């Protein structure tokens, strides 16, 4: 993987310690509480980074789009700007920014190093206190300019919300083309903003339910390529694929453990019921976690690895259960009207996202890990497959409207207020969010 060199830069006039103090005080004033839901996004001015070509403006365009899509920020139109930043190494005229109500200001410069790499310097300012919040610089190959924009977006998000960002991430999903009864499905991967699309499989076999490793650029998914549908591993960078385990029947619904060393999945028994198994990818040993005469599927680990939530119809209808990661003490946690399935544990550990079917509608919701505090974030004709951003603040899922030709990808934040369509070249389903890139 490519590495980004990141260093802090202090503004000329300010001593380093002074800059740190300024950061602390600025944070106290300029902070978004993401847990309450933001009715009024923070107005922020993102000025075009100075550069000898258009790469500076391209980078700031991506940053603005990321911030706007988060729902937490409202980038101000450049036509309203009064000061034109000509030297990002000196403090801006803060009054010129406060008068247009820019609470935060982003300035920067992109230059080319002797070896051809881009050097991007950026500073985030608290305009009302007149302080630099943070200053950093990054080096990257020119073709990775979008990653520079995503990393700077994450830095802005983190410095203004106190939460880690999620912009320097990718989404793997199922690209769908063709008529519904003969649909061709391919694994595809893109940046979280929909850029850099590429397909990972050729469409000759149905592929479903890709999931990212929390620790590596690796995915697990289900494919019909071998005749019997089974779970595979795919190394994204090398394209290397392998079958997971050597099971006689269908294996499906895979997910990684938090350390990326194990996979939990369903295995179809001879009698037609599905049980949950864990496979250790190093020792290749398998452990059966459930043994019921019911459908047990959609297992998902807690981020500390001690528990597994799953879907079972052992009580009659599909509901969500939680058990120890050794299969001990399965306990039902969903009790609302309707059916509950595809639990997905938040990377923060505090919530479980799910798909609920109730009154002829499909809903994406979250509940606490004991099943309490259920909140529905989105309701529609057909929607399912939640996946968490690595900071646990945003969920992506797929939706098919009544009468529509195919599914599309959408994100929604935990307040349920900010829903965004994620554009894909064709129909898309089964999104899976990557961890932050390295």
Least Å distance between CB 269 and another protein?
9
Residue 282's φ and ψ, nearest 5 degrees, are -85, -50
Query: What three-state secondary structure class fits 151?
Result: helix
d(CA 429, CA 421): 12
Q: How many residues bind another protein (CB under 8 A)?
A: 42
d(CA 212, CA 434): 5
Candidate residues 77, 283, 372, 402; the one interacting with another protein per rule CB under 8 A: 402
Contact between residue 188 and residue 197 where contact means Cβ atoms under 8 Å apart: yes
By the rule CB under 8 A, 426 interacts with another protein: no
Q: Is 225 left (phi over 0), alpha (psi -120 to 50) or beta?
A: alpha
By the rule CB under 8 A, 131 interacts with another protein: no
Residue 41's φ and ψ, nearest 5 degrees, are -60, 150
Return the range that interacts with another protein (CB under 8 A); candidates 98-106, 192-200, 248-256, 364-372: 248-256
Q: Which is nearer to another protein, 180 or 375 (CB)?
A: 180
Candidate residues 317, 376, 378, 380; the one interacting with another protein per rule CB under 8 A: 317
By the rule CB under 8 A, 252 interacts with another protein: yes
Q: Is 14 left (phi over 0), alpha (psi -120 to 50) or beta?
A: beta
Candidate residues 268, 289, 309, 364; the one interacting with another protein per rule CB under 8 A: 268
Burial of 208 (0-12, 13-18, 19+ CB in 10 A): middle
Residue 62's φ and ψ, nearest 5 degrees, are -70, -40
Candidate residues 74, 100, 184, 208; the one interacting with another protein per rule CB under 8 A: 208
Q: Which is nearer to another protein, 47 or 383 (CB)?
A: 383
Contact between residue 398 and residue 428 where contact means Cβ atoms under 8 Å apart: yes
Return the range that interacts with another protein (CB under 8 A); candidates 118-126, 159-167, 238-246, 313-321: 313-321
Candidate residues 74, 205, 206, 243; the one interacting with another protein per rule CB under 8 A: 206
Residues whose CB is less than 8 angstroms from the CB of residue 124 and which lie 6 or more positions away in sequence, other chains included: 104, 105, 106, 132, 133, 134, 135, 155, 156, 159, 160
Q: Which is nearer to another protein, 31 or 361 (CB)?
A: 361
Residues whose CB is less than 8 angstroms from the CB of residue 189 and which lie 6 or more positions away in sequence, other chains included: 170, 171, 172, 173, 197, 198, 199, 200, 236
By the rule CB under 8 A, 384 interacts with another protein: yes
Q: Which is nearer to another protein, 230 or 411 (CB)?
A: 230
By the rule CB under 8 A, 382 interacts with another protein: yes
Q: Nearest CA to 186 among 205, 163, 166?
A: 205
By the rule CB under 8 A, 266 interacts with another protein: yes
Provide the token pair at 290: 């459930």
Candidate residues 135, 318, 365, 390; the one interacting with another protein per rule CB under 8 A: 318
Least Å distance between CB 144 and another protein?
34
Candidate residues 71, 108, 214, 229; the one interacting with another protein per rule CB under 8 A: 229
By the rule CB under 8 A, 337 interacts with another protein: no
Site string for another protein, 176-205 (x = CB under 8 A): ---xxx-x-x--------------------
Candidate residues 11, 134, 253, 367; the one interacting with another protein per rule CB under 8 A: 253
Residue with the two structure tokens 């951003």: 389
Query: For the residues of 275-336, what is the DSSP string, one character each?
Result: EEEEEETTT--EEE----SSBEEEEEE-TTSSEEEEEE-TTSS-EEEEEETTS---EE---S
Site string for another protein, 339-378 (x = CB under 8 A): x-xx------------x-x---------------------
Candidate residues 66, 107, 169, 209; the one interacting with another protein per rule CB under 8 A: 209
Residues that bind another protein (CB under 8 A): 179-181, 183, 185, 206, 208-209, 227-229, 250, 252-253, 266, 268, 270-274, 293, 295, 297-298, 311, 313, 317-318, 339, 341-342, 355, 357, 382, 384-385, 400, 402-403, 429-430
């Amino acid at each position: 993987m490519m590495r980004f060199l990141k260093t802090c830069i202090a503004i000329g006039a300010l001593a380093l310690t002074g800059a740190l103090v300024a950061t602390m005080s600025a944070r106290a004033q300029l902070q978004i509480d993401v847990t309450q839901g933001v009715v009024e996004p923070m107005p922020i001015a993102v000025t075009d980074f100075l550069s000898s070509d258009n790469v500076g403006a391209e980078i700031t365009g991506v940053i603005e789009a990321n911030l706007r899509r988060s729902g937490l920020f409202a980038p101000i139109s450049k036509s309203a700007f009064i000061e034109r930043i000509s030297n990002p190494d000196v403090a801006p005229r803060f009054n010129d920014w406060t008068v247009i109500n820019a609470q935060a200001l982003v300035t920067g410069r992109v230059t080319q190093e002797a070896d051809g790499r881009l050097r991007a310097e950026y500073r985030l300012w608290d305009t009302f206190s007149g302080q630099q919040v943070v200053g950093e610089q990054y080096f990257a190959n020119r073709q990775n300019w979008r990653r520079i924009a995503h990393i700077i977006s994450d830095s802005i998000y983190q410095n203004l919300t106190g939460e880690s960002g999620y912009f320097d991430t990718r989404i793997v999903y199922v690209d769908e083309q063709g008529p519904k009864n003969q649909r061709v499905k391919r694994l595809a991967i893109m940046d979280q903003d929909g850029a850099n699309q590429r397909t990972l499989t050729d469409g000759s076999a149905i592929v479903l339910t890709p999931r990212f490793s929390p620790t590596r650029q690796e995915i697990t998914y289900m494919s019909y390529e071998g005749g019997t549908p089974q779970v595979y591993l795919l190394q994204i960078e090398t394209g290397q694929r392998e079958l997971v385990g050597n099971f006689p029947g269908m294996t499906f619904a895979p997910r990684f453990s938090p350390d990326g060393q194990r996979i939990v999945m369903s295995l179809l028994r001879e009698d037609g019921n599905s049980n949950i198994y864990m496979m250790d990818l190093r020792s290749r040993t398998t452990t059966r976690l459930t043994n019921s005469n019911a459908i047990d599927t959609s297992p998902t680990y807690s981020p500390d690895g001690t528990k597994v939530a799953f879907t079972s119809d052992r009580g009659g209808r599909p509901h969500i259960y939680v058990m120890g990661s050794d299969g001990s003490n399965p306990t039902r946690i969903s009790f609302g009207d309707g059916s509950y399935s595809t639990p997905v544990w938040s990377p923060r550990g505090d919530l479980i996202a799910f798909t609920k079917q109730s009154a002829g509608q499909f809903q994406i919701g979250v509940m606490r890990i004991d099943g309490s505090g259920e909140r529905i974030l989105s309701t529609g004709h057909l929607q399912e497959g939640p996946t968490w951003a690595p900071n646990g603040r945003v969920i992506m899922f797929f939706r098919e409207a009544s009468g529509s030709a195919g599914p599309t990808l959408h994100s929604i934040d935990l307040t349920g207020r900010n829903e965004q369509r994620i554009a894909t070249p064709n129909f898309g389903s089964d999104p899976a969010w990557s961890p932050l890139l390295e």
